[in-house]
Amino acid sequence: MRAPDERTPSALERFLHHARADPSAIAVQDDASAPLTYGALLDAARQTARRLADDGARRGSRVAVECSYGARYLVPLLGCWLLGSVPVPVDPASPADRRRHQVRQARCGTAVTGPGTDGAVAGAVADVVSAHGGGGCGEPEEPAAYILFTSGSTGRPKGVEVEHPALLNMLEHFVRALGFGPGDRMLAHSSTVFDMSVPEMLIPLVSGGTVAVAPPRSVRNPELFADWLRSHPVDAAWATPSQLRLLLPFLRGDRVFGTLISGGEALPAELAGALRKVCGALWNAYGPTEVTVVGLCAEVEPPYRDPLPIGVPLTGLRAHVLDERQRPVPPGTAGELCLSGTGVARGYTGSPELTARSFVTGPDGERMYRTGDLVTRGTDGLHYFRGRGDDQVKIRGHRVELGDVEAAARRLPSVGQAVAVVSDLLSGRPDLFLAVVPPPGEAPPDPADLRRQLYGLLPAFMRPRQVLPFGALPRDSAGKTSRRAVGDLVEERLRGD
């Protein structure tokens, strides 16, 4: 097993420093097991690295990691890094077909799976090994820190390759900004396939702090989660506004967070005002997976007015607000937010054409990522989110391409046409709804049956709240289906129900 170059700055190098400086310090605290010290976590990671090497993994190999958050994920993650391999988190609860696609797309030649998995990942790894040899796909360049899959407009998820310098840059920015260090606790509660899990679990480990793992059963129940937080207050936490809105009533004004970082979707001013009672400081973070979780961030303080600022670029990143010809726009004018600098990802694994469309050369000659988000920049340098220029939406903090949902629905024989829309009419927060039309000459499909079939094709956050059958869908003057008109039609049906 090749030893890592511990002189090269990386998240692994920072973790190893703390593991050797104070091996008895608590690295991971989890109610389900005894606290895990830095020394014990390192020993477990070394054992995993040896097992991976025995299974054929090597420097640059991609390793599917099908485990829940907390120590079960951190051990194989660190094991991969010790070996020089690339971890690829896979959601055990995601449909089998989607997991198989991710493993094959990333060319994972080895896997680490948790208890109770169904064998889909192992089968896909066997396919990769058969096609590409033991160890799967080795990287021709410096191995990525991880590959994280996001929703894709083509109906297939796309894997974002994030590099080690980009990861360390983001982590160290927040270590400095938070003043995080030994003895501090950060909440971990996000799925490993949601990129908010990256700072949750790694900021503590690069600074000598503790990952405070919330029990999955409590996380799924806001009342239980609030009870757990009251008895396990944390110095810092990350969460989406949707999660916080559900949790807030059960906290009853108790301050359980030191610094609370909201991200993943827009933070409304009224929610920000209510959250200030339960935290010492409130930050608003913005960033897609392609810029290593967070691109901009700012503390938000009263008086709160919509839209709240999404902040200024992190250390090492630069923000460009550009028009359709990629020319800078003046302050106060909406344009596409493009980001360049240390945090920009390598690209989409196995998809050079898709990478070339999204990662481009900017007006200053630097490589930059086109976010597709519309923002304005104020005279104070703060940026404000103004919407999207395409069909990408955020559902409970997860990025969802509406075309991904529609493509899954069109795979079903009882669906001739499908249009996904978002509405907050029923719950007060964004929900997905799917309008469908049967193939010509066929009867309308049963909505309940369609939803059951979609459960086998889509992960939980992409499943529509309701499927609504129609005889036809409205079109615009060019004869194309009008998503906006379909949205109006869906809300009219919902009001009628």
What's the whole-model pTM score? 0.84
* Omega within 30 of 0 (cis) for the link into 288: no
3 state SS of 357: helix
What pLDDT was estimated at residue 138? 58
Which of the 8 DSSP states describes residue 22? -
pLDDT digits (tens, 9 = 90+) for 254-305: 999 999 999 998 899 999 999 999 999 999 999 999 999 999 999 999 999 9
Q: Are 310 and 375 in contact (CB under 8 A)?
A: yes
pLDDT digits (tens, 9 = 90+) for 325-380: 899 999 999 999 999 999 999 999 999 999 999 999 998 899 999 999 999 999 88
Token pair of 27, please? 């690295």
Average pLDDT estimate for 177-192 = 97
Token pair of 400, please? 């969802």
The yes-or-no verdict on residue 5 having pLDDT over 80 is no
- Cross-strand partners of 176: none
Average pLDDT estimate for 155-180 = 95
Q: 410: burial class by Cβ within 10 Å (0-12, 13-18, 19+)?
A: middle
Structural domains of the chain, ranges and CATH numbers in brackets? 11-165 (3.40.50.980), 214-388 (3.40.50.12780), 393-496 (3.30.300.30)
pLDDT digits (tens, 9 = 90+) for 192-243: 999 999 999 999 999 999 999 999 999 999 999 999 999 999 999 999 998 9
Token pair of 368, please? 């930059």
The yes-or-no verdict on residue 3 having pLDDT over 90 is no
Q: 115: burial class by Cβ within 10 Å (0-12, 13-18, 19+)?
A: exposed
Token pair of 274, please? 């209510």
pLDDT digits (tens, 9 = 90+) for 132-154: 776 555 555 789 999 999 987 66
| Least confident residue range of 341-350, 391-400, 401-410, 454-463 | 391-400
What pLDDT was estimated at residue 480? 73
Chain-wide mean pLDDT for the chain? 91
* Omega within 30 of 0 (cis) for the link into 439: no
Average pLDDT estimate for 304-320 = 96
How far is Cα of residue 467 from the mean position of the Cα atoms in its chain?
26
Per cent of the chain over pLDDT 70 is 95
Q: Are 395 and 389 in contact (CB under 8 A)?
A: no
Which of the 8 DSSP states describes residue 161? E
Check the CA dihedral 405-69-200-465 and report its sign.
positive
Token pair of 171, please? 């982590």
The yes-or-no verdict on residue 1 having pLDDT over 50 is no
pLDDT digits (tens, 9 = 90+) for 418-457: 999 999 988 888 899 999 999 888 888 899 999 999 988 8
CA–CA dist 449, 374 (Å, integer):
38
| Least confident residue range of 58-62, 76-80, 212-216, 474-478 | 474-478
Per cent of the chain over pLDDT 90 is 73
The yes-or-no verdict on residue 2 having pLDDT over 50 is no
Most confident of the ranges 116-120, 291-295, 413-417:
291-295
Q: Are 19 and 36 in contact (CB under 8 A)?
A: no
Characterize 309-347 residue by residue with b for buried, 16 or more Cβ atoms within 10 angstroms of its Cβ, and e for exposed.
bbbbbbebbbbbbbeeebeebeeeebbbbbbbbbbbbbb
Average pLDDT estimate for 382-391 = 85
What pLDDT was estimated at residue 7? 59
What pLDDT was estimated at residue 16? 98
